[in-house]
Amino acid sequence: VFEKAGVNVSVVFGLLSEEAARQMRSRGKSLKAKDGKLPFCAMGVSSVIHPKNPHVPTMHFNYRYFEIEEADGTKQWWFGGGTDLTPTYLNEEDAVHFHKTLKEACDKHDLKLYPKYKKWCDDYFYIKHRGERRGIGGIFFDDVDSPSKEEVFQFVKSCAKAVVPCYIPIVKRHCHDSFTPEEKLWQQLRRGRYVEFNLVYDRGTKFGLLTPGSRIESILMSLPLTARWEYMHTPPESSKEAEILEVLRNPKDWVH
């Protein structure tokens, strides 16, 4: 069913690289280094699943905790993460199920969270040079450090527990669907976009590559086994391929 799938559990300690610290400061973090050094620890679980069948979407989730010790010994901490879906072809029923399940997980904690993190997801997984999103979104958040560590942790756990129910029913529904060589080709082209986002824009990939001694194979686990790029490829108007592109260019509200 899955052509390439992986789960990474990461626990990383060390000193923040200058580039990583600069990236965090650009997001509004005031980090006071001691002799230019910032000890940090980061931990998280992430998964990327690339199915064989083009009618089963690619799925990614990541939930993480970050802590930095400043020069005076005070610690800054925050949680981040999200779950998002990247279909090759649009199935509205699947999209609604995926988003509703994530909304229910968020709503247990605060009704404002899902709309806020859904928009954040649409904005984050944006391939600027293509003018389209990587997929049909889900939820995404970063730098969450209130109301309290325990409350944010409970919220993150709710999100993580929603991963299986939001995705596996979709897999079971479509993993035996028949598909044509043309549909498989379109899947390869869409995977090319996935690669472009991950290598050009994804903050997690960049952070991993900047961390001294990091395991490169694990960082690049998110990339599909195969992908394709075709010069100036444009799908025919009103085709199934054009339909998914429309949603990637103009994100939809799937739950109302």
Residue 194 structure tokens = 């996935």
Are the C-beta atoms of 40 and 13 separated by less than 8 Å? yes
Binning pLDDT at 50, 70 and 90, where does residue 130 land? Answer: very high
Mean pLDDT of 33-43: 83
pLDDT score of 144: 96
Q: Is the pLDDT of residue 35 over 80?
A: no
Residues in the chain: 256
Full residue range of the structural domain in which residue 31 is found? 2-249
d(CA 199, CA 82): 18
Asked if residue 159 belongs to a domain, the reply is: yes
pLDDT score of 242: 98
Beta strands (DSSP E) in 73-200 are 75-86, 126-127, 132-133, 137-144
Mean pLDDT of 37-59: 95
Binning pLDDT at 50, 70 and 90, where does residue 229 land? Answer: very high
H or E element in which residue 117 lies = helix 113-124
H or E element in which residue 14 lies = strand 2-15
Q: Which active-site residues does the annotation give?
A: 60
pLDDT in tens, 20-33: 777 777 777 777 77
Mean pLDDT of 133-143: 97
Mean pLDDT of 176-180: 98
CATH number at residue 229: 3.40.1500.10
Among 19, 11, 14, 18, smallest CA distance to 68 is for 14
pLDDT in tens, 62-71: 999 999 887 7
pLDDT score of 23: 76
d(CA 214, CA 227): 25
Q: Is the pLDDT of residue 204 over 90?
A: no
Asked if residue 96 belongs to a domain, the reply is: yes
Among residues of the chain, what percentage have pLDDT more than 70? 100
Residue 231 structure tokens = 């010069």
Asked if residue 85 belongs to a domain, the reply is: yes
pTM for the model stands at 0.93
Domain count of the fold of the chain: 1
Q: Which residue, chain included where needed, has tokens 């994100």?
A: 251
Asked if residue 129 belongs to a domain, the reply is: yes
Asked if residue 36 belongs to a domain, the reply is: yes
Asked if residue 255 belongs to a domain, the reply is: no
Residues 6+ away with beta carbon under 8 Å from 37:
15
The chain-wide mean pLDDT, for the chain, equals 94
pLDDT in tens, 64-101: 999 988 778 888 899 999 999 999 999 999 999 999 99
Q: Is the pLDDT of residue 58 over 80?
A: yes
Mean pLDDT of 166-187: 98
